[in-house]
Structure 1
Amino acid sequence: MADDNVQRFVVGDVEVLRIVEWQAPYAPAPDLVPDAGPEVWKENRDLLAPDHWEPGSDRAVVALQTWVLRSGGRTVLVDTGVGNGRERPGNPLFHRREGDFPGRLERAGVRPADVDLVVNTHVHGDHVGWNTHDVDGEWEPTFPNARYLIPAADDFHFGPENGYGGGVRIDDRLTYEDSIAPVHRAGQAETWDGEYRIDDLLTLESAPGHTPGSSVLRLASRGERAVFVGDLLHSPVQILRPECSSCFCLDPEKAVASRTRVLERAAEQGELVVPAHFGGSGAVEVRKEHGRFSLHKWAS
């Protein structure tokens, strides 16, 4: 039976599945990308509505999703969404959420025990939630046989040694305690910095700004390429205007530099750009003409 929350495409020899946890109008567009004026959204209405922007309410449409890669006989998850039953008082959308994400994974042919590797592009609550699940009142790794790759800079920044993100948001402490610390205790966490080569097809590299350890995952197979960019992009508006960071970026200037660098390479090398939160088909080819990036072709 087809599942509307699952999308499939292929990059070289790698099958890519998009598993949607949630998708809907989220935040007012001017709040999500503060430096992108209303004219940017209006001028690009044909590109943005309805999958990325709801003009009537002026709200940005976003998705919570996990990307599954079947590569070289292994199953790799890129980010793990919000999770169920989390205490997230700072975000009503995520707070004590209950959903059927495990069922969607299983209907796509992905069982927890089959997952070999989990990549957290960064440590925010909507990217690490299904790292763990509740077992008799205790948080335990959802994927018992998986190695979890966590950026070292984020592991430190959001961890206890740095006061859980400096104590700025209570949700950062709660996220670390229920979604990161249990993976460390289980001996399944591996931190990395700079660049980390997973295998001949997959490479992680740092792209700081959104968080100190924000990263991207590069895929190259049989001459085809993709880059999973996490939260370097929240909206296609940021491809059209890469100088505009989201309201969630801890260091907007670094985020601009990382985003521009990744988009430049994607345009030059023909990498499919795969963000964490785009609605629609979720991934897009990028071109650069006359000094500006443009949306070329959506994945199908």
Structure 2
Amino acid sequence: MPELTTTAAHEGRLNRPAGIRSLWLGDTKVSYVPDGDVRLRPRPLLPDTTDEVWAAHPEYLDGTGHLVASVGGLLVEHGGRALLIDAGFGPQTFRTPDGPLGVIHGGALPGSLAGLGLAPEDIEAVAFTHLHSDHIGWAVHPVPGEDRPLFPRAEYLIAAPEWDRLDLLAAEGTTERVAALAPRVRTFDDGQEIFPGVRVRITPGHTVGHAEYVITGGGRRLIAFGDAVHSPIQIDHPEWSAAFDHDLARTAEHRRRLVAELAEPDTIGFGVHFADVVFGRVRQDGTGPAWQPVDA
């Protein structure tokens, strides 16, 4: 794996959403599948930060002062089979006048899949890290102009503790739409292998049944950690929890352990919201930002 200087690794990438990016783990291909992006208000998102923090780190912000984040999913291909982890925001746009969320839009995921040579019917299962609207979009929204789901043959894999608390989705107004997925839902428990080389671990904090996925192959492992971390800046400051977290203290405690684990040899992280640095590894050598992008 090539060595990167901290300047070269991050140049221009922290304030633009990611495009399609792929890595190989032995015989398993993992690809970021873009659906759109979200612009976040940094102080409301990370309440423990200060104006001084963001003044010192303008590289994370766009021209309007918003934190730039990606929205999409992770495609896992192995042996002619395909699993999608998370389903983006779907064909919609949403904006708010205050709070952490500025504007979020989706819609690009079908085209992104096509760019990777796959059709929606090639996806045998969609596994969710959690049931927030920016992760379930294309599962609960039909194809625009048509009364049919995007993924015609996929089952939906959801952590049992997450599925058991659909009532917590009331604030997002998505409870009924998610409940309607029930005929195609298969729940899983901690530690299950849901696809060749893909094992789940349930990590409550961001939500009550938040799940991470550990993908192994070729002597490496990739940890798709969902919304345990929203921005690379939290890798340097795992104590900074996000306003969207269900349990801020529990998430911070988990994030500290996760950062240490991501620093272990042959370990790569996948941050679905990590601007144009969705794949990376952690270096804690004091030479600069701990999150170092990995592109091969």
TM-score, L = length of structure 1? 0.81
Q: Deviations over 1:10-29 (max 9, x none)?
A: 222211221211135x1221
Per the alignment, residue 128 of structure 2 pairs with 120
Structure 1 pair 154/295, CA: closer, same or farther in 2 (3 Å)?
Answer: same
Q: Letter of the aligned partner of 1:72 in structure 2?
A: G
Q: Letter of the aligned partner of 2:126 in structure 1?
A: V
Structure 1: unaligned runs, 5 residues or longer = none
Per the alignment, residue 165 of structure 1 pairs with 168
Q: Letter of the aligned partner of 2:136 in structure 1?
A: V
1:208 aligned to which of 204, 209, 213 = 204
Contact 2:72 2:89 in 1 (8 A): no
Contact 1:141 1:182 in 2 (8 A): no
Structure with the higher fraction of residues in strand conformation: 1
Per the alignment, residue 198 of structure 1 pairs with 194
TM-score, L = length of structure 2? 0.82
Contact 2:88 2:106 in 1 (8 A): no
Q: For 1:205 and 1:98, how far apart are their aligned partners in 2?
A: 27
Structure 2: unaligned runs, 5 residues or longer = 1-17
1:67 aligned to which of 53, 74, 84 = 74
Per the alignment, residue 48 of structure 2 pairs with 35
Displacement of 1:217 in angstroms is 0.4
Structure 1 pair 112/296, CA: closer, same or farther in 2 (3 Å)?
Answer: closer
Structure 1 pair 147/269, CA: closer, same or farther in 2 (3 Å)?
Answer: farther
Structure 1 pair 190/126, CA: closer, same or farther in 2 (3 Å)?
Answer: same
1:231 alignment partner, SS class: helix
Q: Deviations over 1:238-294 (max 9, x none)?
A: 10000111110010011112212222212124321101111113121112347x981
Displacement of 1:107 in angstroms is 2.9
2:142 alignment partner, SS class: strand
Displacement of 1:195 in angstroms is 2.2
Displacement of 1:89 in angstroms is 8.7
1:194 alignment partner, SS class: coil
Q: Letter of the aligned partner of 1:53 in structure 2?
A: L
Structure 1 pair 68/199, CA: closer, same or farther in 2 (3 Å)?
Answer: closer
Per the alignment, residue 22 of structure 1 pairs with 36
Displacement of 1:88 in angstroms is 9.3
Displacement of 1:121 in angstroms is 0.2
Per the alignment, residue 153 of structure 2 pairs with 145
Determine whether 1:175 maps to 2:174. yes
1:76 alignment partner, SS class: strand
Contact 2:160 2:188 in 1 (8 A): yes
Larger CA deviation: 136-145 vs 189-198: 136-145
Displacement of 1:98 in angstroms is 6.7
Percent identical: 29
Displacement of 1:135 in angstroms is 6.8
Per the alignment, residue 24 of structure 2 pairs with 10
Q: Letter of the aligned partner of 1:37 in structure 2?
A: T
Displacement of 1:68 in angstroms is 0.8
Displacement of 1:226 in angstroms is 0.7
Q: For 2:106 and 2:76, how far apart are their aligned partners in 1?
A: 25
Determine whether 1:241 maps to 2:237. yes
Q: Deviations over 1:181-235 (max 9, x none)?
A: 2321xx3211123222124511010111110011110011020111101101111
Alignment RMSD: 2.9
2:139 aligned to which of 125, 128, 131 = 131
The structure, 1 or 2, with the larger RCO (C-alpha pairs under 8 Å, 6+ apart) is 2
Structure 1 pair 33/139, CA: closer, same or farther in 2 (3 Å)?
Answer: farther
